[in-house]
Structure 1
Amino acid sequence: MSQHMIAIDLDGTTLNNQSKLTPLTIQTLQKLDHMGHLVCIVTGRPYRTSKEIYQVLNIVTPMVNFNGAYCHFPDRPEWLASYYHELDREIVFDLFNRQDELGIQLVCAEGKERLYTSSMNLPESPYYPAEDASYQKLSRQTLIHNPIAVTLFTSEADQIPIQKKIMASYPNQVSVRTWGGEIPVLEVVSKNLHKAVGVKTIADFYHIPRQNILAFGDEDNDLEMIEFAGHGVAMSNAIQPLKDIANDITEHSNDQDGLAHYLIDYFNLSFN
């Protein structure tokens, strides 16, 4: 079989409901990697909270973070196709100053390796591990460079109204995506960035035709990637708009090894 690119979202897709990789998922993705296919993590997470997952999978491929704002090859800074798109830090400070007006509970600005937060009282979450020493209080003295993304914590009911206000305030500068789940957030990145930008960059670099791209996702921030892929697959636990545009839907959820089972069937894998 010709080389395929397999673009995998993490939360709600590759990871189970405890944000963990299962043995079957690891075995399946490593098998595909050994067969010469390109297994690439494409996530909204920063690198600092996806690095361990990449290392556990033990695959040597590029990855995409921040919903397409950062495309890189871990430990290979010379990789020619790498990029990252910054966000003007003045937008961060403006959102910080407008927290009460907009109904934002917490502002987190993300650099490549460091988090700047309006409050050190962060929610318990795999995205913000308590033992992480890279957090700094957000201020003009600490955030001296443009970040890659800004995460805004809100109530789920307020997400869409806040999203519209932010888009109206910076119409030619930002894209804003919603994340649901236990900790609903908005993620702000530079205009016209999404996961498909990173997927296309990697596929073009390795000369993988679009029809050989498989992509798996479950949420709003996976829409462009699923639509772009030659074979876009929505998880059975995915939001309905994603299922509506996908080429296929997994039989099992992320908490039932849905990704692994689908890939085993698709590539007719067998394990000794």
Structure 2
Amino acid sequence: MTRIKMIATDVDGTFLDQNRHYNQQRFAQQLQQLEAAGIRFVVASGNHLGHLRRVFAPTPAVQTFVAENGGLIVDHDQTLFADLIPTPTVHQIVRDILADQALRPRILRLSGAHGTYINRRDHPSDEAAQDYFFNNIVLVDDLTQVEDDIYKINGEWPNETIQHLAAQLNQRFPDQINAMASGFGSIDIVAAHMSKAIGLTQLAQSWGIAPAEIAAFGDNDNDRDMLAHVGLGVAMQNGNDSVKAVANLITPTDNNHDGVLNVIDAILAGEV
């Protein structure tokens, strides 16, 4: 059995329960055990860095983040890698999506180095959820006039159509973007060659860790490549079928019952 040297986890629907909580005391104890065993812990999420830091503030030992679906990698406040969508591409995609009624979302966001940009006329389907996920909102009159380093474009569509729409977007903009369903009626659009798998690989290589030495947890389409790429891909019991199809293991319990933490205990015990 290959020794695990890195554990990476998605956040929403994976590490957090449906109330967006996690067992802080148990996890803090696990982090000490992981450090003693020489196993690095990494958060791998589609969310922006500020939100992730806020989620894991109760456990400050968490200091490594693969944010923006791989577009931004930060370790102990040091940016290790940043992969941007070229500004002309961002503006072109925004114009084309907003001009096509078949593709136009309820709301479109640009996730940048200095803020998450939203047209002031747009309103999300869930204001409370937007306030939770985005603590750096900048309202603008025209997204095509935004000049910032953009890691990701994010939009909201009806939940039942997002897989189909993500495929449409990739066909519409070949070799320019990678669009993937990220759950809750949301699609994340990153640079063409970017994903959590690529970001995690870059980070692991910088630490001398091979893909076979990584365990990764996820529940949704934007986790699929990451789980397929690592030595131990773990799909959540509550995850979707596309993620379970590539996983080496499905958690015995779901995200509401410490699914990730239970498997981390098994890893530490050498049981998986």
- TM-score of the aligned structures, taking structure 2 as reference length: 0.86
Listed as ranges, the gaps of 5+ residues in structure 1 are: none
For residues 104 and 122 of structure 2, the distance between their equivalents in structure 1, rounded to whole angstroms, comes to 18
Whether contact under 8 Å (1:174, 1:191) holds in the other structure is yes
Distance change >3 Å, CA 222–CA 94, structure 1 → 2: same
Write the deviation string for residues 13-59 of structure 1: whole angstroms up to 9, x where unpaired: 11111112223234323431344311000001111211112332222
Aligned to 1:14: 15
For residues 225 and 141 of structure 2, the distance between their equivalents in structure 1, rounded to whole angstroms, comes to 31
Distance change >3 Å, CA 241–CA 131, structure 1 → 2: closer
Whether contact under 8 Å (1:64, 1:195) holds in the other structure is yes
Listed as ranges, the gaps of 5+ residues in structure 2 are: none
Identical aligned residues as a percent: 21
Distance change >3 Å, CA 13–CA 75, structure 1 → 2: same
Whether contact under 8 Å (2:83, 2:191) holds in the other structure is no
For residues 105 and 120 of structure 1, the distance between their equivalents in structure 2, rounded to whole angstroms, comes to 7
Aligned to 1:148: 151
| Matched residue count | 264
**Which residue, out of 32, 36, 39, partners 1:37?**
39
Matches within 5 A, 1:121-270: 121-122=123-124, 123-126=126-129, 128-129=131-132, 132=135, 134-137=137-140, 139=142, 143-180=146-183, 183-268=184-269
Aligned to 2:53: 51
For residues 243 and 146 of structure 1, the distance between their equivalents in structure 2, rounded to whole angstroms, comes to 34
Aligned to 2:84: 85
Displacement, 1:61?
4.0
List structure 1 runs of 4+ shifted beyond 6 angstroms.
Answer: none
Q: What is the Cα-based RMSD across aligned positions, in Å?
A: 2.5
Whether contact under 8 Å (2:113, 2:149) holds in the other structure is no
The structure whose residues are more often strand, as a share, is 2
Displacement, 1:128?
3.3
Distance change >3 Å, CA 150–CA 215, structure 1 → 2: same
Displacement, 1:73?
1.9
For residues 69 and 46 of structure 2, the distance between their equivalents in structure 1, rounded to whole angstroms, comes to 4
Distance change >3 Å, CA 27–CA 17, structure 1 → 2: farther
For residues 75 and 237 of structure 1, the distance between their equivalents in structure 2, rounded to whole angstroms, comes to 32
